[in-house]
Each structure stands twice: as C-alpha cells, then as structure tokens.
Amino acid sequence: MSWKDTAEPVLTRMPSVARPEGHVPFKRKVMWTAGILVLYFFLTNVFLYGMQGEGSEVFGQFRSILAGGQGTILQLGIGPIVTASIVLQLLGGADLLGLDTQNNPRDQVLYQGLQKLLVLVMIVLTGLPMIFAGNFLPPSEAIASQLGIGLLGVKWLMFFQIFVGGVLILYMDEVVSKWGVGSGIGLFIIAGVSQRLIGGMFGIAPIHGESGIVPTWIGIILGYVNFPALLTPQGITQLLIGQGAIVPILTTVLIFVVVVYAESVRVEIPLSNAQVKGARGRFPVKLIYASVLPMILVRALQANVQFLGRILHAQLGSLPAWLGTYNSAGEPVSGLFYFLAPIYSPQDWMWFAGGGGGNAVWEILLRVGVDLTFMVLGGAVFAIFWVETTDMGPEATAQQIHSSGMQIPGFRRNIRSIERVLGQYIPQVTVIGGALVGLLAVMANMLGTIGGVTGTGLLLTVSITYKIYEEIAEEQLMEMHPMMRQMFG
C-alpha cells in the first residue's frame, strides 16, 4: 500500500472552495476580488485580543512580501502558504511524491489536499514559537486576571486567533484564484506593498510613524526639518540616501521601468490550426518566463532562517559567537546569521557613508556576496521548480498546445515535435529570467526604495500588477467575443 492510499481519506476530505461550474462574468470576478481585498484590509486592522503592547515584528523587512499585519489576526500573512509551497516544490523536484498532477485527476486532488494540510502544519509550527518561545507577542496580565485563565491561557487564546487568521487567508487566496482576478497571494502582496509605498511617499509622522518623502521635503523647504549643508559629505549623503531619498526614488522608478520592459521581451513561437484554415496564433516565451513569484520562495526561505535565529536567541539568551550575536533590536550583528541576513537598505553596506553597523569592511562585503549569490542561484533554481510544478515546462506546455488543436508550422503534428521546439527556449529563459530577477532584487535593496518596501516586494508588486492588467484585458476580450472563450477554454 502506497502513501497515497493511506493519506487519501484525509486529503480528499480537506475543505475547499468549490470551482464555478461555468464561466464567471468579469464583473462578478471583480466583485469577488474587491470583496476579498476589503476583508483583507479589515483583518489586518483587527488586533489580537490579549496581547500587551505592539509586540516585536518577527518578520522585519520580510513583512512587505509576506503580507499580513504585525500583532493582528493576520500575523502570519502568507508565510505558511509560501513555506508549504517550498516543501512541496522540493519534494516534487526530487520526485518523492509520485504524483502526476498533469494527467491524473486523483493525483490532482491529493496534491491540493496535501498542500492545504501542509499549510495548516506550517501555521502551527510558525505560530507556536511566536507566542510560546520567542515572546514576540507578549500576553497581557490585565486580560489574564480579568478572564481568570492565567498568562498561559491568554497565550493559547492568542494562538487560536492566529490559527484562525492563517486558515482565513488560505481560503481567501483560494476564493480569489477560483472566483476572482489573479491570485490571492499576489493581491495581498500588492495591497501591503502599495500601503508602504504611499506611506513612504506621503505619510505624516503622527500617522505613519515617520514622515514620507513629500512631507519631509516640505519641512526642509519651510525650515521645519534640520538638513545639513549640501556641500558637506553628510549633506550629500542625506540628500541621496537619507532624508532627501533621491536614490530610492530613482531606484523605485527604474525597477518599474525594467520589470515592465522585461515582461514585454519575449520569443514568440508561431502556431497554426490544422483543422481551421487560416487560424494562426503565437505562443510567447517571456524573458521572465517563471514570473517573479519564485522570489517569494527564496525570500521566505531566508525569512525562516532569520526567524530560527531570533527564536534561538530569545530562548538561549545568547548564541555562540560563530553562530551570531544580536543587538537590542533583535537584529544579528555578527556570526553566521549576520552573513545569511539579506541586505535591506543602503545603511546596511555603505560603510564609506557611515553605514554598515560598525562591522569590518570584509564582513560587509561577504554579507553582500552571500546575499547576491543566494538570490541569483536561488532565483534560478526556484524558477525551474516553479515551471515544472505549475505545468509550464516544455512537456506540459506541448501537451496543452497539442490538445488545443494547434501545431508549429513546418513541423510534424505531434507532441514530441512541439516539445523539442519549446525545449530550445523555455529551460534557458527560465534560468536567465530567475537569475535576473534575483539580481534586480538585491540591487534595489542595496540602493533603497520608497517606504523601504524592499526590492523583492517592489518587483513582485510591479510584475503581479502587470499580469493582473493582462488578465483583465484578456477577460474583457473574452466578454466581447464569447467564441474566443470557447476556442481557448
């Protein structure tokens, strides 16, 4: 008996959102998407009952890509979903699952059930240490005395709320994927990053915590904000990467332009229909073929490593010097966890401008090198996994093209011929695109972005927004020409 036979009774009974039986009108998709977005914003403002103060942000700069809200019901954000996807991709890449999700309907159901089960496990494994081990979400003694359940009871109450929030965001993502536009994960990332972008540009100190770029410049011009003389090294530094934020503005605009341009760079493979004379089309192989979404997996892996370090430091009080030492803010300043920590901003590495946190130049350069290597190689590797597990590889794509009745002119009308042509482009483009996205993410972090959204968050936002725009245009085209919907399924 295989593991599939043993696990099938559990995996097939995992609750799921029903798929629409027919075509969902575009207006209804927009309504579902908008409704889930409103619910997401509402839940990110519902703070945990029983928590004392604001707690400690365990995700740090990773919050922009993991979505959710610190100290709220959506404390975990999309972290458990992404971590479960990493586990499944690694297992699938090593062919340990033995699931044929492309041709076997039973395996498709098992895979979806296994994914949900893993997400629930990750919610527990991530939420428990936050409350019971790291004290990142301290319980309120006043609530404990009012309810008469003690601090331990309050902790369990808080964990229950976090668990419910993790389950909610899982099914909110599924609702958007099946009934809305795009995916829920992408929608939540856009929402979180957009909030920080707007706050970083126009935020006022009493509301946002720190003034945005526009209010800061107004204060500089009116003399309310002290600004050093421009002709001094300190003044130039403040102008470029400090309060003036000229470099972060240019970096943000550049990332927008580069991603939109990269999304438009493609190799178009001509297609024709053997049964319908004159029916032609093209299959585009984009430069960023695997999209920017594999970057979530790479950064989530880094976030889990840093989370482990903070848990160990909180539990043990101090770690061996080679493993890492932490400052009062809970950030690693030396050791292995320091070198594995991503570069977040120019202040993390510009030792010549007073940054670097007091570390030696070789330590800063080694940290930059590790981050760059991890992102470039990780981006390429996870892009390959993403293409294979989402049926975007040459074999799966060839099967889809052949099933639609299309063929490549000048080649035999069979799957192998189509797969051979696609195999000349897809693997190479996947690796190049994944490495390019990783490089862009690190460079954006090093130069800084508006609102400190991180390069990965900005890349994801631009790319996902562009894809949603393309999907909306396609949906509108299908609404105008129903025959096209029948042709393309």
CATH code of residue 41 = 1.10.3370.10
Tokens of 310: 């903070």
Q: Lowest-pLDDT range, 87-91, 156-160, 300-304?
A: 87-91
For residue 127, tell me if it sits in a domain.
yes
Say if residue 281 is in the same domain as residue 153. no
pLDDT (0 to 100) of residue 1: 54
pLDDT (0 to 100) of residue 487: 47
Domain boundary among 180, 201, 216: 180
Q: Percentage of the chain surpassing pLDDT 70? A: 92
165 has a pLDDT exceeding 90: yes
How many angstroms separate the CA atoms of 313 and 299, rounded?
Answer: 21
* Higher per-residue pLDDT: 28 or 92: 28
How many angstroms separate the CA atoms of 403 and 488, rounded?
Answer: 10
Confidence class for position 74, pLDDT limits 50, 70, 90: very high
Instruction: Give the amino acid at 418.
Output: I
Residues 6+ apart with CB under 8 A from 235: 227, 228, 229
327 has a pLDDT exceeding 50: yes
Confidence class for position 49, pLDDT limits 50, 70, 90: very high
Q: pLDDT tens-digit profile of 106-141?
A: 778 888 888 899 999 999 999 998 888 877 888 998
Residues 6+ apart with CB under 8 A from 413: 274, 402, 407
**pLDDT, average across residues 450-472:** 85
Say if residue 148 is in the same domain as residue 277. no
Q: Lowest-pLDDT range, 219-233, 297-311, 434-448?
A: 219-233
CA within 13 Å, CB half, 414: 4
Distances (CA, A) of 29 to 83, 156, 387: 28, 37, 26
pLDDT (0 to 100) of residue 164: 96
| Count of the separate structural domains present in the chain | 2
How many angstroms separate the CA atoms of 226 and 243, rounded?
Answer: 10
Tokens of 133: 């081990």
63 has a pLDDT exceeding 90: no
Q: How far apart are the first and last CA of the chain?
A: 37
For residue 487, tell me if it sits in a domain.
no
322 has a pLDDT exceeding 60: yes
Say if residue 431 is in the same domain as residue 328. yes
How many angstroms separate the CA atoms of 346 and 350, rounded?
Answer: 6
Domain boundary among 180, 195, 220: 180
- What is the number of other CB atoms lying within 10 angstroms of the CB of residue 370? 16
Say if residue 3 is in the same domain as residue 125. yes
Q: pLDDT tens-digit profile of 6-40?
A: 888 888 888 888 888 877 888 889 899 999 999 99
3-state SS assignment for residue 333: strand
* Higher per-residue pLDDT: 170 or 314: 170
458 has a pLDDT exceeding 70: yes
For residue 273, tell me if it sits in a domain.
yes
Tokens of 342: 């991503």
Say if residue 276 is in the same domain as residue 401. yes
Say if residue 428 is in the same domain as residue 304. yes
Task: Residue 38: name the closest of 199, 196, 200, 187 by CA.
Answer: 187
354 has a pLDDT exceeding 50: yes
* Higher per-residue pLDDT: 420 or 103: 420
Beta bridge partner(s), residue 170: none
384 has a pLDDT exceeding 60: yes
Any idea what the Cα angle at residue 344 is, between residues 338 and 350, rounded to 5°? 85
Task: Residue 104: name the closest of 6, 8, 21, 18 by CA.
Answer: 8
pLDDT (0 to 100) of residue 277: 63
Q: What is the pTM of this model?
A: 0.82
pLDDT (0 to 100) of residue 102: 66
Say if residue 2 is in the same domain as residue 131. yes
For residue 473, tell me if it sits in a domain.
no
208 has a pLDDT exceeding 50: no
Say if residue 150 is in the same domain as residue 36. yes
290 has a pLDDT exceeding 70: yes
Tokens of 479: 């609404």
User: For residues 388 and 289, is the Cβ–Cβ distance under 8 A?
Assistant: no
Q: Lowest-pLDDT range, 276-280, 341-345, 361-365, 398-402?
A: 276-280
Listed as own residue / partner, the contacts of 139-143 with beta carbons closer than 8 Å and 24 or more positions apart are 139/50, 139/51, 139/52, 140/50, 140/51, 140/52, 141/52, 142/52, 143/49, 143/50
Task: Residue 430: name the closest of 257, 267, 297 by CA.
Answer: 267
For residue 478, tell me if it sits in a domain.
no
pLDDT (0 to 100) of residue 482: 55
Say if residue 176 is in the same domain as residue 282. no
For residue 145, tell me if it sits in a domain.
yes
Task: Residue 468: name the closest of 283, 285, 263, 251 by CA.
Answer: 263
Any idea what the Cα angle at residue 234 is, between residues 231 and 239, rounded to 5°? 75
Instruction: Give the amino acid at 386.
Output: W
**pLDDT, average across residues 216-241:** 78
383 has a pLDDT exceeding 60: yes
Domain boundary among 114, 147, 180: 180
Distances (CA, A) of 14 to 8, 177, 372, 425: 10, 17, 40, 38
How many angstroms separate the CA atoms of 413 and 406, rounded?
Answer: 8
For residue 41, tell me if it sits in a domain.
yes
pLDDT (0 to 100) of residue 217: 86
Strand residue runs (E) in 129-279? 266-273
214 has a pLDDT exceeding 90: no
Say if residue 168 is in the same domain as residue 284. no
Cβ-count burial of 21 within 10 angstroms (0-12 exposed, 13-18 middle, 19+ buried)? exposed
For residue 347, tell me if it sits in a domain.
yes
Cβ-count burial of 339 within 10 angstroms (0-12 exposed, 13-18 middle, 19+ buried)? middle
pLDDT (0 to 100) of residue 205: 61
Could you tell me the residue range of the domain that residue 376 belongs to?
Answer: 265-448
How many angstroms separate the CA atoms of 212 and 208, rounded?
Answer: 8
Say if residue 291 is in the same domain as residue 169. no
62 has a pLDDT exceeding 90: no
Say if residue 307 is in the same domain as residue 443. yes
